[in-house]
Amino acid sequence: MSTEHLSFPEDRSTERLDAFLVVSFPYLSRSQVQKLIASQQVLVDGVPTKVSYKLKGGELIEVNIPEPELAEAVPEEIPLTILYEDHDLIVVDKPPGMVVHPAAGHVTGTLVNALLHHCDDLAGIGGELRPGIVHRIDKDTSGVLVATKNDQSHQHLAAQFKARSVNRRYLALVGGQLPGSSGTIDQPIGRHQLQRKKMSSRTRHGKRAVTHWKVLHTYLADRLSLIECRLETGRTHQIRVHLSEQGVPLVGDPLYGGRNSLKNLADQQLRQLLEKLPGQALHAQTLGFVHPVTGKYLEFSTDLPPVFAEIVDYLQQKYANPEGTG
């Protein structure tokens, strides 16, 4: 068990103990902090206290952080496409259909299960022997994802994501055409007020979300468009929500209207290709960041997964004009 000591500034406004510790230890989640407080691993002026305790200024705080324990997820021998790996992090090309982190209904077969089996040099993240998931991509979204192996790397990369300095570029096939050749969508995103599985910009508690887009090709008299999206922020379902609310949902997206792209297509071969998509046609093509230890900028890009690539190849061969804009 390691012990950390810190003090609450005397000139700071009153703040809850758990809120202060979450900021002080960014690698610990709020639930982990609250668990430490509840188990009397946090002392304020030498005395255990409650999660809701209000710090007023000048208090001395002692935090006992247990040694890492094996995470609940179990290691599984699942093939991985590894783009880069060292003692601090690992970069993989996640296939469509793979969930990143175990959750209700997806306890096994996740990327975390695979990483626990593959990585034999995990140093612990937030008190658990597990890979550090700094960002996530949806189950049916494919592409580049980085995970960390220790607290130092996790904190450093998390800070880069928070500062919006990470280069994240996606390829998306959408139904319809956006206004112009490029633009920016700056709309807050939060939980949908009625449909809890969905996110929406039409919510009272949304957080700012910014997506920059550029049209690469249009096909079928503008009925389909291949676009590049660059994320400035990383909210849940951000690209899916932003494009859907612009009237151009991702092709194949069952949650945000993308299934309608399959309707009334005269090209039966194209229709059959689109029906092979496991979900939304979205690929995290490029990820660039500064290595948390060496300080070197790293960037990784991957090709479209087979089904997505087959659709784009077909559209290019049949519908692209000589200038390549479709």
Q: Please list the active-site residues.
A: 138
> Can you state the angle between helices 30-38 and 17-24, rounded to 10 degrees?
120
The count of residues in the chain is: 326
d(CA 211, CA 238): 8
Beta strands in the chain (DSSP E): 2-7, 15-16, 42-44, 47-48, 54-55, 60-65, 69-70, 82-85, 89-94, 128-129, 132-133, 142-148, 167-175, 182-186, 190-191, 199-200, 210-219, 224-231, 282-290, 297-301
Q: Are 145 and 101 in contact (CB under 8 A)?
A: no
The residues with which 290 forms a beta bridge, in sequence order, are: 297
Q: What is the DSSP letter of 124?
A: B
Q: Are 53 and 44 in contact (CB under 8 A)?
A: yes
